[in-house]
Amino acid sequence: MESVPLVDSMVINLLVGLSRAMILFIVSSGISFVLGVMRVPNLAHGSLYMIGAFSAQSISVLFGGSPVSFWLALILAPAVVALVSLIAERSIFCHLYQRDHLVLILFTFALSLILGDLVKLIWGTDYKSILAPASLRGSIPIFGASLPTYNFFLLALGPIVGIALWVFTNKTKMGKITRAAAVDREMVDAVGINVSWVFAVAFVIGCYLAGLGGSLVAPTVSISLGMDHTIMIEAFLIVTIGGLGNIWGALLGSVIFGLSQSFGVAFWPQFAIVFPYAAVVIVLMLKPRGLLKSVW
């Protein structure tokens, strides 16, 4: 069998794993952000990711043929998801903040079911497809293999999103308030800041990231019902191993997950499914509370 030299194979798999990790990071950072501030795992996150993908496709079709249709979809689709989450938060969720934690979790679960069926009602059951913009189509030959150009775009975008989140949480007033609320919401309330609106901001930002993840992944996958379930398991595992509520932990967890999958595929493809989950088990055995410090 003619095979690619080991070093070349490792570089290819590194790039593939990292590009996958960027999507996982963008989605899981949203869960981590909401979890960190509100201490609630948003079980509707996957549904919002799915809505992001479907919305991106619809917007792309709306501006069909236009060279900027993909870029418009990338801007507008996450905004649509943010709007949906704001409506859900302000209409029902915010009235439950004083209730038991379990009620909040159950609300997000109910929301995931409702949104899942709404997607079916609005978009139907047919598979949808969206193209990457012309400038990002095709593949780039690298070390004897071909990697889609779009994957390089994802590699560049992931760190930008991470930096943007860091700037928000560390350099903006609202960001600092959300960090403070994550640590001690009672004190934030005591100094006269409306914690309910802080939670709304955090929830919407988290959901925006879900929508962004869905929009970004749309050109690479079949946009279909059920894509919410697939991402949820992976995203929650990443948040768990990264450290609850820790954004940089989400990045580290995503990189571990993405790389273990791509190297697993390279070295033992028949059982590649196992590798990322084995990595999760090993991390939790060594660091039960996650790789980085949880925010609470």
Partner 1 sequence: MGKATVKMCMVMTILITVLALAPISSLARPIKIGIVDTYSGPAAVFCNDCLNGFKLALDDINKRGVLGTKIEFVTRDDKFKVDLGLSMAKELVMKEKVDVLVGTMSSGVAMALSDYARTQKVPFIVWLSKSDRITGEKGHRYAFMTSENTAMVGKAAAMEFARKPFKKFWIAGDDYEFGHAIANSTWGYLKKLKPEAELIGESWWKVGEPDLIPYITNILAAKPDVLIACTGGASMHNIMKVAKATEMTKKVQIWVHGATDYLVIKPLGREAPEGVMSSNAYQFYYPDVPSNKAFVKKFREAYGSPPSFMAFHGYNTAHFIAEAYKKAGAIDKEKFINALEGLKIDSPAGKIEMRACDHQVALPIYFGLSKLVPEYDFAIVTDVTTMAGKDVMPTCEEIMETRGK
Is 20 among the residues that bind partner 1 (CB under 8 A)?
yes
Smallest distance, partner 1 to C-beta of residue 132, A: 8
Residue among 20 and 45 whose Cβ is closer to partner 1: 20
**Contact region for partner 1 (CB under 8 A) — 79-87, 147-155, 178-186, 195-203?**
147-155
- Cα end-to-end span (Å), the chain: 53
According to the binding rule CB under 8 A, does residue 269 interact with partner 1? yes
Question: Nearest Cα to 80, choosing from 119, 42, 41, 114?
Answer: 119
Only segment of 165-173, 186-194, 195-203, 265-273 that touches partner 1 (CB under 8 A): 265-273
Of the candidates 193, 202, 63, 46, which has an alpha carbon nearest to the alpha carbon of residue 130? 63
Residue 147 to residue 151: CA distance in whole angstroms? 7
User: Site for partner 1 (CB under 8 A): which residue of 62, 92, 135, 139?
Assistant: 139
Q: Please choose, out of 6-14, 93-101, 169-177, 205-213, the segment that lies near partner 1 by the rule CB under 8 A.
A: 6-14
**Rounded Cα gap, residues 245 and 184, in angstroms:** 14
Question: Which listed residue (73, 255, 266, 280) binds partner 1 by CB under 8 A?
Answer: 266
Cα diameter, the chain: 70
Question: What DSSP state is assigned to residue 224?
Answer: -
CB of 118 to partner 1, least distance (A): 13
Single residue of 29, 47, 151, 169 touching partner 1 by CB under 8 A: 151
Contact positions with partner 1 (CB under 8 A) in 69-88 = none
Among 159, 190, 226, 289, binds partner 1 (CB under 8 A): 226
**Residue 16 or 182: which CB sits closer to partner 1?**
16
Does residue 96 interact with partner 1 by CB under 8 A? Answer: no
Based on the number of CB atoms within 10 Å of its own CB, is 56 exposed (0-12), middle (13-18) or buried (19 or more)? buried
Per-residue burial over 10-45, b = 16 or more CB atoms within 10 Å of its CB, e = otherwise: bebbebbbbbbbbbbbbbbbbbbbbbbbbbbbbbbb
Contact segment (CB under 8 A) with partner 1 among 36-44, 78-86, 190-198, 227-235 equals 227-235
Distance, in Å, from the CA atom of 82 to the CA atom of 88, rounded to the nearest integer, reads: 10
For 42, phi and psi rounded to 5 degrees? Answer: -80, 100
Q: Which of 212, 242, 257, 232 is nearest to 46 (CA)?
A: 232
Q: Which residue has the tokens 């590798």?
A: 275
Q: Which residues form the interface with partner 1 (CB under 8 A)?
A: 1-4, 9, 12-13, 16-17, 19-20, 23, 116, 120, 124-129, 131-132, 137-139, 144-148, 150-151, 217, 220-222, 224-227, 229-231, 261-262, 265-266, 269-273
